Structure 1
Amino acid sequence: MRDRLKDVYNVVQEVNVLDSQDAANLALLARPELGVTFTKLHCWRLVQFEKCVFLDADTLVLKNCDELFEREELSAAPDVSWPDCFNSGVFVFTPSVDTFTKITEFAVQNGSFDGGDQGLLNQYFGDWATADIKKHLPFVYNVTAYASYCYLPAFKQFRDKIKILHFAGKLKPWLIQFNSQTKTAATPNEYAHAQDLIQHWWTIFCDNVHQSLTDNMAGLAGALAQLRIGVQRTPEQEQYENLMRRQCWESGQIDYAGVDAFDNIWKKITQTLEAKPDKEAETGSS
């Protein structure tokens, strides 16, 4: 996997905080619940760069965002759930070992109010909401893909201006049921407003990523490598996609309008009941 990533990125730096003998590892002994948070903090150690923009793995860049490098630390967009806090899925920062050490020490002493990196960073950069409006990124740089009744009209109105889409929460494109033969994603009804954007993620995956994956890769990458894109599905392929569909179901991503429609569920229940052995008949025959 590292070799494949090196074909795409200029720098591939492995971060494994549990094995590193540094300040974060020592702090982890005192605050083990912040393990994932400390992993993100390592971005401040990229001191070979003057300015950086952090992007969560569940973001999708839709337009050029080079102008972000003109912003100062710490610049971020408001979080939709509490706009006086920033969302830590996208932020501009200045690498510094000193800053890394200070945030690590702050984490050990104060923890995180939400148990993750977003709560910690909002506590450390506590004046973000009031000190400098220039550090407030426009929402188009970190638009959450889910919608509520209060901002769905705005999502539709300004969708063409979105620069970075953030699949925050349960909505992850790679967990949505995908038909490898037709190359289409079965977007749940509650995310219909973002159907084309979810499909865009899968199109990028099919065109630019899938051919770089191999079966001997670990985890999700190895599983996705088994997809046979654009061809008739084999029994093994259908078995794999049924497994993915079950994972989608268990994570709340249910295709009510498709395979998981009520008629199909009722049909399966009926078939199961009809196939059940008649215990009374078995008892009588014995």
Structure 2
Amino acid sequence: MFFAVTDQAFVTLATDDVYCQGALVLGQSLRNHRTSRKLTVLITPEVSSGIRSVLSSVFDEVIEVDVLDSADSVHLALMQRPELGVTFTKLRCWTLTHYSKCVFMDADTLVLCNVDELFDWEEFSAAPDSGWPDCFNSGVFVFRPSLDTYNLLLQFAAEHGSFDGGDQGLLNSFFSNWARADIGKHLPFLYNLSSSSLYTYVPAFNHFGRDAKVVHFLGATKPWNYKYNLQTKRVMQDDTASGSFHQLPFLGLWWNIYSASILPLLEKLQKMEDSDEVACSVSELSIQSKPAKPIPEDERRKWEEGRMDYMGKDAFEHIKKKLDAFLH
């Protein structure tokens, strides 16, 4: 029997229309896996009215908040990610005091199964970061909304800033005892699996990766930066969006949800309102209805650069067929 829990929520943040595409897919993935918790998305004033109405069809709450920006260009430059300053806005999630407990998830995460068990964990629970495991990754964490905690975070940010210029550096400094105080607050890595990491421990990925519960599309290249073919239902790699072999199945899952559940909502709104804002938002994603014909020169260059389509035309069975045909 399904019981709704109304005083707990999954929370995400979208600071513009493009990141709303990720939030919509995340929200729909939680719906698809029958979460019993509320879904809340924090948005900034930059999000258009058309996209807000689409968000309302997926999320229980769409809450506008003012932008918080670290404006820390020096530390942000170290990561070559100047856009991450606005992630300080994530701190606003501690103001959702009508909930007793929440799980925050970045808009570039994707749920692969029901993860309601995350609410059994306490504040501040998070998974280790793949780049520096003694730090947690702030893309998924369990917290208890509190205005006292919120004000302490703001005070800490004003006095100490963030060692990376974004929310992750700030939160790791604020919850500085996470690495050593209580292993019971260390979420398994499978709750925040980096899709784009070039795993050096491939046997572990092959053994444990199939049990991943949440995938996180870390880095500057997001799922919506890839091209997707609606006819073949395949993600296409090109020169503008590179990724590791490991994340191709996850990208396919993201785009399958987008094309099946989110794109129809955007198209319906566009037809009803003839909204230029929505039309722009839809067109920003690279969707092709017909397969593009490969150019021989481009295909040769990709092979020479080591960028083969292992999941598609360059799969071993296809290469073997060509060799067999040539030999016989």
- State the TM-score bracket (shorter-chain normalisation): 0.7 to 0.9
Aligned with 1:210 (options 241, 254, 263): 263
Show the 5 A alignment for 1:1-286: 1-17=51-67, 32-33=71-72, 35-187=85-237, 190-213=243-266, 214=270, 216-217=276-277, 221-224=281-284, 227=287, 230=289, 232=290, 260-262=298-300
* Structure 1 gap ranges (5+): 18-23, 239-254, 265-286
Specify whether residues 225 and 155 from structure 1 end up closer, same or farther in structure 2 by C-alpha distance, changes over 3 A only: closer
- Contact 2:163–2:170 under 8 Å retained in 1: yes
Q: Which amino acid aligns with 1:222?
A: V
Distance 2:199 2:191 in 1: 21
Please provide the CA RMSD for this pair. Answer: 2.9
Distance 2:139 2:94 in 1: 15
Bigger shift: residues 81-90 or 192-201? 192-201
- Contact 2:230–2:259 under 8 Å retained in 1: no
Larger Rg, first or second structure (1 or 2):
1
**TM-score, structure 1 as length reference:** 0.72
Specify whether residues 220 and 68 from structure 1 end up closer, same or farther in structure 2 by C-alpha distance, changes over 3 A only: farther
Specify whether residues 187 and 263 from structure 1 end up closer, same or farther in structure 2 by C-alpha distance, changes over 3 A only: closer
Per the TM alignment, residue 205 of structure 1 is displaced from its structure 2 partner at its CA by 0.6
- Contact 1:140–1:162 under 8 Å retained in 2: yes
Q: Which amino acid aligns with 1:114?
A: D
- Contact 2:109–2:216 under 8 Å retained in 1: yes
Specify whether residues 220 and 125 from structure 1 end up closer, same or farther in structure 2 by C-alpha distance, changes over 3 A only: farther
SS of match in other structure, 2:61: coil
Per the TM alignment, residue 35 of structure 1 is displaced from its structure 2 partner at its CA by 4.7
Runs of 4+ displaced beyond 6 Å: none
Specify whether residues 225 and 111 from structure 1 end up closer, same or farther in structure 2 by C-alpha distance, changes over 3 A only: closer
Deviations 1:22-75 (A, max 9, x none): xx6xxx6xx533851331100101111000000001000001111111111110
SS of match in other structure, 2:89: helix
Q: Which amino acid aligns with 1:193?
A: H
Distance 1:97 1:226 in 2: 41
Per the TM alignment, residue 158 of structure 1 is displaced from its structure 2 partner at its CA by 1.3
Q: Which amino acid aligns with 1:32?
A: A
Deviations 1:128-172 (A, max 9, x none): 001111100000000000233423322221122100000001341
- Contact 1:45–1:95 under 8 Å retained in 2: yes
**TM-score, structure 2 as length reference:** 0.64
- Contact 2:228–2:286 under 8 Å retained in 1: no
In the comparison of the two structures, how many residue pairs are matched?
232
- Contact 2:224–2:286 under 8 Å retained in 1: no
Higher strand share: 2
Distance 2:223 2:105 in 1: 16
Q: Which amino acid aligns with 2:187?
A: L
- Contact 1:216–1:222 under 8 Å retained in 2: no
Q: Which amino acid aligns with 1:221?
A: S
* Structure 2 gap ranges (5+): 1-50, 73-83, 303-328
